Amino acid sequence: MLAILCPGQGAQAPGMLSPWLELPALDASLEALSEAAAADLRQLGTQADAETIRDTQYAQPLIVAASLLSLRALLGEDTAAVDVTAGHSVGELAAAAVAGTLSATDALTLVGVRGRAMAAAAAVTPTGMSAVVGGDPAEVEAALTAHGLTAANVNGGGQVVAAGTLEQLAALADAPPAKARVVPLQVAGAFHTEHMAPAVAEVRAAADAITPADPRATLLSNADGAAVTSGAEAIERIVAQVARPVRWDLCCETMLELGVTAVIELAPAGVLTGLARRTLPGVQTLALKSPDQIDAARELVREHGGSR
C-alpha cells in the first residue's frame, strides 16, 4: 500500500524548482499555478534567496507548487496508484490535490490566500517555532507550558514543535528540558496557534468559493489522523488547521493501521521521510528531491501502489 506525503513550511530551499522546470511539461504548467497563487513562482523557485522564500506568503505557494509539479512528473494525470495521502501543515493542501479533492489551481489559489493571511497575522507580534527533539514527553510538555508555548506540531519520533513569541522561544532554548535539543525553524511565525486566528476568516472566505470533490484516495487529516471522506469536510479541516495544532504523529499511526508499506515524499522532500524512518518501522521510504529519482519512485509505485 502506497502513501504519498507532502511536506510543510520549512522544507523550502533556494532554486528548488529549477530541476523540475527542465521538464517541458512542468515548465509549461507553471504559469497557471503562478496565476492562481498570485505569485511569481518561477522567480521564487529559481532565483530568490533563502531569506526571500522564508517569507510565509512566498514559502507556502512555492512548497505546494513544488509538490504538485513533482507529482505530475511521477504520475502524470493518473493518480489511481495512490492509496493514502497526507500533508504536513500547508502540505495538506497539496495532499488534497493528490486525492482529487482540489484541482492543482484551486490548491494554489487557496494556498496563496493562506500564505498572505498568515504572513499578515505573523506580522502583528514577532513569533516563531522551534523543534524540541528528544527528552521525556511529560517534561517537554511541562517546559512548553511553563514558558507559555504551544505544541503546534506533534510529529512523533520524539519531536515536538514549540510555537510562541520569540522571547518565549529564547527562554526555552536557554533552559531546555533534560536530554532535549531546541532547534529554531526557518519559519516566520507561530503557525497553528492562537497567533494565527486572524487569518482563519480570510482563508475560509477563499475556501467558500471553491467546490471540492470527495477524495479518491484515503486523505488523512492533520487534526487527528482521521481519514476524511467528503470534500466539504476536507476543506473545513484545512481552514481550521491554520490556528490549530498539527498531529502528524496520529497521521503516522493511521498509516500503520491501514497497512501502508511504502511512502514517497513529494518535493521539496526530506523532512517527512526522515520522520518516517523513526515512526513507520518497516515501511520503505523515498524522498523525491529531483527528476533523477523518478525511475526509482515509479518502481516503488509499481511494487506498492493501487492496493486499496
pLDDT digits (tens, 9 = 90+) for 223-248: 999 999 999 999 999 999 999 999 99
pLDDT digit string, tens, across residues 196-227: 999 999 999 999 999 999 999 999 999 999 99
Query: Annotated catalytic residue: which of 89, 130, 147, 221?
Result: 89
Inter-residue contact 215 to 234 (CB < 8 Å): yes
Judge if 114 and 221 occupy the same domain. Answer: yes
Identify the domain boundary among 161, 184, 207. 184
DSSP state of 124: T
**Strand, coil or helix: 20:** helix
Q: Is residue 186 predicted with pLDDT exceeding 80?
A: no
Q: Is 89 a catalytic residue?
A: yes
156: CATH: 3.30.70.250
Judge if 131 and 279 occupy the same domain. Answer: no
What is the band of 308 on the pLDDT scale with cuts at 50, 70, 90? low
CA 219, 54, 240, 117 dihedral sign is negative
Query: Annotated catalytic residue: which of 29, 70, 147, 192?
Result: 192
Identify the domain boundary among 184, 209, 228. 184
Range of the structural domain that residue 297 is part of: 2-122+193-304
Q: Helix 24-37 crosses helix 104-122 at what angle (to 10 degrees)?
A: 50
Judge if 197 and 284 occupy the same domain. Answer: yes
Q: Please tell me the pTM assigned to this model.
A: 0.94
Number of folded domains that form the chain: 2
Judge if 200 and 133 occupy the same domain. Answer: no
pLDDT digit string, tens, across residues 245-304: 999 999 999 999 999 999 999 999 999 999 999 999 999 999 999 999 999 999 999 999
